[in-house]
Amino acid sequence: MDDNLQNRINELIRNPKNLGELTDADAVGEVGNSSCGEMLRLWVKFREEQGRRVIDRASFQSFGCETAIAVASMATELIRGRTAEEALAMGTGQLTGDLGPLPPMKIHCAELVEGALRAALASGPEAPTPPPTAAPDAGDHLLGSLLGAGRAPKQVVLLSPQDSPEP
């Protein structure tokens, strides 16, 4: 990975945008990648703007590498103000934003973010209801909330290289 890309990733790790649960979200998507053990949850909140339903805010939690966190941070900023259809039309190359092209060994990080976005927006205009907030004893983090006791089981979509969307 070149130094310029690494510096941009480091900046987003030091100052991530939109990290954490969005409690009043209209939609939530969760994905995991079996080949590297990463998981990502993405929350989306909509608003009405000039007769269109657009993304007002998005946030994420990641159990993954620095690049996945950086791409999720960038993507949550880039989808703001877009309709679900416009956000779904964005590919991995667009979701990386100012990070620019990722090296081949890191493309799966952008695919993870794209997968979470697609999972959140999969139902079109009628977004799915977000899961309840995890109990404090389950941990205030993605893995703890996925493993939280006393709640309905979660469905986690595991992406394999052959199932990953085309860039």
Catalytic residue annotation:
36, 109
pLDDT for the residue numbered 128: 41
- Whether 123 is in a domain gets the answer yes
For the whole model, what pTM was predicted? 0.73
Note the pLDDT tens digit of each residue in 98-150: 999 999 999 989 999 999 999 999 854 444 444 444 444 444 455 555 555 44
CATH number for the domain including 16? Answer: 3.90.1010.10
Residue 123 domain boundaries: 3-158
Q: What percent of the chain has pLDDT over 70?
A: 73
Q: 156 vs 2, 100, 109, 134, CA distance in Å? A: 33, 28, 16, 16
pLDDT for the residue numbered 114: 95
Whether pLDDT at 90 is above 90: yes
Whether pLDDT at 20 is above 70: yes
